[in-house]
Structure 1
Amino acid sequence: MPEVTLARIAEIAAEAAEKAVERWQGELEIWEKSPDHPVSDVDLLVDDFLRERLAALDPEAGYLSEETVDTAARLGKSRVWVVDPIDGTRDFIRERTGWCVSVALIEDGQPIFGVLEAPARGERWMASAGGGATRNGLPIGVSNRTALPGARIPYANLEKGSDLVAVEQPNSIALRIAMVAAGEADLVATLRWGHEWDVGAAALIASEAGATVTDALGAPLIFNTHAAEAFGVLITAPGIHAAAVERLREEAERLSVR
């Protein structure tokens, strides 16, 4: 494997984020890739930069990104970059802070390096497989919560009477997962088919911080799959994961059928 380090990946992610923050709260070209899925010219600018710089860092790795047309070429690679150039585009175009640049390096289906660069929040999240997770250079860890009722979830519109507790909800799913990694939330769950680039880096950060990381049905996440998708994520403090799987099981099974 070429000489690839977490520090070097973080440098590239930081350079990409600088390009994004220069345009944040400024003039943007915005359109919809599909209904309710906005994109800006900055998403493409950052993606082009990352594709070039990451390819130079590891020329043998494939590339999977929200803003690059996917091809089957990555499937023959043992390593692949999994990138979301701006995760949380809605917050980016609304001049809010809940967005980040997400970069993961996947090897044999699992993330080995992950970086979230969130310059509008002054945050850099990093993890390496077996090396722990940090925010701004300081080690992070999940909460020790053992009861699902009262668990904190980044969610803006909890149903009245819910036994969960709403906390800040950045638009970026990666940053919401990072909140669990840092013990600032106890649970993140999605019940829809989602893309690997949304969670590649954040899943490693969470697992290295001690979280239990699965899809919405409780199965392990696997990356660089043919469809580059998984049915949801369920990322929790370890003490509540089984209870969360059980609570979500019926709806998750129903919604996962295509």
Structure 2
Amino acid sequence: MSDIEAAGWQCDLDLIADAAKQAGAVALSFFHQSPEVWWKNEGRSPVSAADFAANETLGSILMPARPEYGWLSEETDDDPVRLERETVFVVDPIDGTRGFLAGMPTWCVSVAVVRNGRPVAGVLYAPALDELYLAQVHGPALKNGVEISVSNAGEHAIQRLATAEEMLTGFEPGFRKTVERVKHVPSLAYRLAMVADGRLEGTLVKRDSHDWDLAAADLILERAGGALVDLAGDRLIYNRPSVSHGELCGAPVAHMPAFLHQLSYRRDS
């Protein structure tokens, strides 16, 4: 990639960071205010007036600035034209809506620029915590302007892992003894940010996560020395006709082989 393209991604990063902060301020104005709630996916997933308001803010800033880009958002009807675009905005106006509605602060606005299937700029903004994570494909991962990196704990240290209890039950007994399962964090994007800044050694993700949950956090984790992969160890491709994914693992690159081995062991046992 040329220096001109790299500079362009920094310009896009600046753009989406500003949009995420503005959308975060809008969402924060609804926090603890009991916004109106609807249910989607046959009543399994809540969406609130805050989600829609933040989504409108993102769209009103980003699309006029880059009209040639496609658009993929959890709260907008899917437009198949995105598949014809090399570059796409992938956004989740509030990742962790259940936590948001319950008054938990660990929710965030997630915005990514995806080019040819991979994120090249990504922002996570957690306004209730005053935390801004960002990265572009040629730079470091930053949290509130300070470079972050994944945990450097040794392979025999206690592994702080964010995952459902049932995902651990099939692991080898010896490995399970090294795992400290952390309290549930409703926002998947924020869990991946916790891996990126070293508060967790990993997170295991159930099937049916979506592009908008993952794209920005994927890049931030990558630039911090980690990876988000499927059970074959392959990095994810975004902006496909299907935007859902199977089981995934996010972890420091150095820890990934051990986690993938345990996931394979669980699957085969």
TM-score by length of 2: 0.88
Residues 1-258 of structure 1: pairs in structure 2 closer than 5 A: 4-34=11-41, 35-147=43-155, 150-155=158-163, 157=165, 162-163=176-177, 164-249=179-264
Equivalent-residue separation in structure 2 for 1:242 and 1:106 (angstroms): 27
Runs of 4+ in structure 1 off by over 6 angstroms are 158-161
TM-score by length of 1: 0.91
The code of the aligned residue for 2:16 comes to I
Measured on the aligned residues, the alpha-carbon RMSD in Å equals 2.2
Deviations 1:69-100 (A, max 9, x none): 11210000000000001000001111110100
The code of the aligned residue for 2:142 comes to T
Equivalent-residue separation in structure 2 for 1:242 and 1:157 (angstroms): 21
Q: CA deviation at 1:157?
A: 5.0
Query: Structure 1 residues 42 and 242 mapped into 2: Cα distance closer, same or farther (>3 Å)?
Result: same
Equivalent-residue separation in structure 1 for 2:218 and 2:188 (angstroms): 10
Query: Structure 1 residues 11 and 110 mapped into 2: Cα distance closer, same or farther (>3 Å)?
Result: same
Equivalent-residue separation in structure 2 for 1:74 and 1:149 (angstroms): 44
Equivalent-residue separation in structure 1 for 2:25 and 2:34 (angstroms): 16
Aligned-pair identity (%): 35
The code of the aligned residue for 1:134 comes to L
The code of the aligned residue for 2:88 comes to V
The code of the aligned residue for 2:250 comes to I
The code of the aligned residue for 1:165 comes to E
Q: Secondary structure at the match of 2:29?
A: helix
On the 8 A contact 1:217/1:249 being kept in 2, the answer is no
The code of the aligned residue for 1:52 comes to S
Structure 1: segments with no counterpart, 5+ residues? none
Equivalent-residue separation in structure 1 for 2:214 and 2:22 (angstroms): 21
Q: Secondary structure at the match of 1:11?
A: helix
